[in-house]
């Protein structure tokens, strides 16, 4: 259950205390093209929802792939197996979906490791044909790097809540690739700022900020009632946060990104409402 309101500003949490212009949204399923994720608070509700989902699939002559259907708990307790079509679903602590890793600890470490691994493989495959090809200009190599490496490394990064240590890992891989493209070794004592100037690139922190803010502007412009907007502008109803360093929220990351682009937290939604103006405010990013 979410308590959400798109008026009063995203970063102003007191807007949710207003008696008007706010609503409660019950999210039980996340539907995709041919997949569905069922979200509940208890095993009993999950079993009941699965039974109704199975019945609906039968009514529409659809079948459920039980090998790909799993159960995962975001809490500390291990859930009991759920029965679907007289079969027990596997209980897992992580699963892969559309190139992303979802785990019960709700952190990005494993997903970032996976993305760095995939990007590293792609970078190695292009080593002899592109990076070490002296007939290609540096500008062309950077375009290939952006299209073939960064697109893999930062897949789905628009929704990442990254900590500085995770951004540092991504930045280390990014600069390692750029130095390899320029054929610059650590023995040459060339600073990272010079590497960015030579390649016309930006550090990964700036790139991540721009990607997140572009996605934020898109979500802000869509009509009220859409699921992405309800989730970003909402908070869990009657939920409390830990008093000892709670986990980073998407709103916390967005607030940091807005400050990094020198955009006023009070007026960013005015800019975001105009797509061209919002893009211009992010134009100095990558």
Cα gap 195→226, rounded to integer Å: 42
pLDDT of residue 241: 67
Cα gap 216→229, rounded to integer Å: 9
Condensed to tens digits (0 to 9), the pLDDT of residues 8-41 reads: 577 776 655 655 666 777 777 777 767 788 888 8
pLDDT of residue 136: 94
Residues 130, 136: contact at Cβ < 8 Å?
yes
Mean pLDDT, the chain, integer: 85
CA R_g for the chain: 22
Of 81-90, 233-242, 257-266, which range is least confident?
Answer: 233-242
pTM over 0.85: no
Cα gap 171→179, rounded to integer Å: 12
pLDDT for 210 beyond 50: yes
Give 286's pLDDT tier (boundaries 50, 70, 90): very low
115: left (phi over 0), alpha (psi -120 to 50) or beta: alpha
The dihedral sign for the CA sequence 192, 150, 96, 47: positive
In DSSP notation, the chain reads -EEE-SSS-TT-GGGGG-SSS-EEE---EEE-SS-EEE--SSHHHHHHHHHHHHHHHHHTT----TTT-EE--SSSSPPPPPEETTEEPEE-SEEEETTEEEETT--SHHHHHHHHHHHHHHHHHTIIIIIT-TTS-HHHHHHHHIIIIIHHHTTTGGG----HHHHHHHHHHHHHHHHHHHT--GGG---HHHHHHHHT---HHHHHHHHHHHHHHHHHHSPTT-HHHHHHTEEETT----SSSPPPPHHHHHHHHHHHTT--TTTHHHHHHSHHHHHHHTTT--
Q: Give the dihedral of Cα atoms 14, 16, 17, 21; nearest 10 deg.
A: 120
pLDDT of residue 239: 64
């Amino acid at each position: 259950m979410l308590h959400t309101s798109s008026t009063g500003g995203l970063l102003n949490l007191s807007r949710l205390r207003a008696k008007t212009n706010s609503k409660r949204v019950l999210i039980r399923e996340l539907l995709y093209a041919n997949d569905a994720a069922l979200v509940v608070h208890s095993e009993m509700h999950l079993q009941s929802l699965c039974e109704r989902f199975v019945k609906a699939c039968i009514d529409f002559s659809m079948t459920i792939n039980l090998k790909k259907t799993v159960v995962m708990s975001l809490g500390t307790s291990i859930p009991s197996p759920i029965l679907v079509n007289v079969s027990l679903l596997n209980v897992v602590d992580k699963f892969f979906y559309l190139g992303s890793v979802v785990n019960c600890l709700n952190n990005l470490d494993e997903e970032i490791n996976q993305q760095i691994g995939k990007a590293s493989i792609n970078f190695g495959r292009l080593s002899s044909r592109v990076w070490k090809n002296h007939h290609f200009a540096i500008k062309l190599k950077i375009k290939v790097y952006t299209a073939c490496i960064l697109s893999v490394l930062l897949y789905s990064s628009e929704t990442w809540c990254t900590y500085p240590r995770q951004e540092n890992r991504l930045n280390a891989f990014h600069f390692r690739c750029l130095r390899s493209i320029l054929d610059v070794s650590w023995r040459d004592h060339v600073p990272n700022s010079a590497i960015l100037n030579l390649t016309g690139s930006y550090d990964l922190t700036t790139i991540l900020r721009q990607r997140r803010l572009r996605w934020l502007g898109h979500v802000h412009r869509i009509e009220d009632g859409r699921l992405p907007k309800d989730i970003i502008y909402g908070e869990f109803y009657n939920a409390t946060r830990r008093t000892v360093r709670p986990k980073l929220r998407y709103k916390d990351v967005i607030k940091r990104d807005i400050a990094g682009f020198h955009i006023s937290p009070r007026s960013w939604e005015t800019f975001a409402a105009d797509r061209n103006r919002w893009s211009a405010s992010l134009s100095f990013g990558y």
